[in-house]
Copies of this chain bind each other. A is one copy, B any other.
Amino acid sequence: MAADPQLASALIDPLAPLLGYQLRRASAVMFADLTRSLAPLGLRPTESSALLCIEANPGVTQSEIGKMLAIQRANMAPLTAALDDKGLIARAQVNGRSHGLTVTGAGADVCGQVRAIIAEHERRFTAGLSPQAYQRLIVELAALWA
């Protein structure tokens, strides 16, 4: 019996009508694209996100960044250290146990590049969406996890 060349497309996908599944697939595709797009900068998505949040909130502590991005304290330590090692952020003693984080000059430059890369990345995926549909998606997704 010869294999049906359309066999793969003839398979039934019982997960298709599930929001959680569609979210996961869409998120994975966009995340992979973002990872590739940021690689030339030597940054990963998580690092880039934290960097942009530090730039937007000068003096923020790493605990606060962690709460914003749902990253645990324990995982913020190596993340912050990586950005520091790359010379993108500076830590200023706030009190005996906290540091206020700010972006360095080099960090601000990289932030600009990150924003440009992200903007193009977003455009690649939202080209088929009307501005209204795009905004509606953002709002509905934000409500989903908030």
Binding site for B on A (CB under 8 A): 7-8, 11-31, 34, 49, 52-53, 55-57, 60, 64, 67-70, 118, 121-122, 125-126, 128-129, 133-134, 137-138, 140-145
Residue from the set A23, A31, A125 with the largest chain B CB neighbour count within 10 Å: A23
Q: List 22 A-B contacts (CB under 8 A).
A: A8-B64, A8-B68, A11-B57, A13-B68, A14-B56, A15-B52, A18-B122, A18-B138, A19-B126, A20-B118, A20-B122, A22-B138, A22-B145, A23-B141, A25-B141, A25-B145, A26-B27, A28-B70, A28-B145, A30-B144, A30-B145, A128-B143
Distance of A145 Cα from B41 Cα, bound (Å): 25
Is B15 a contact of A20 with CB atoms below 8 Å?
Answer: no
Distance of A18 Cα from B6 Cα, bound (Å): 37
A52 cross-chain contacts in B, Cβ below 8 A: 14-15
Closest CB-CB distance, A53 to chain B, in whole Å?
6
Q: A64 is contacted by which of B7, B16, B31 (Cβ under 8 Å)? A: B7
Is B8 a contact of A122 with CB atoms below 8 Å?
Answer: no
Q: A142 is contacted by which of B14, B16, B143, B144 (Cβ under 8 Å)? A: B16
- Contact (A11, B140) CB under 8 Å given A20-B125, A25-B145: no
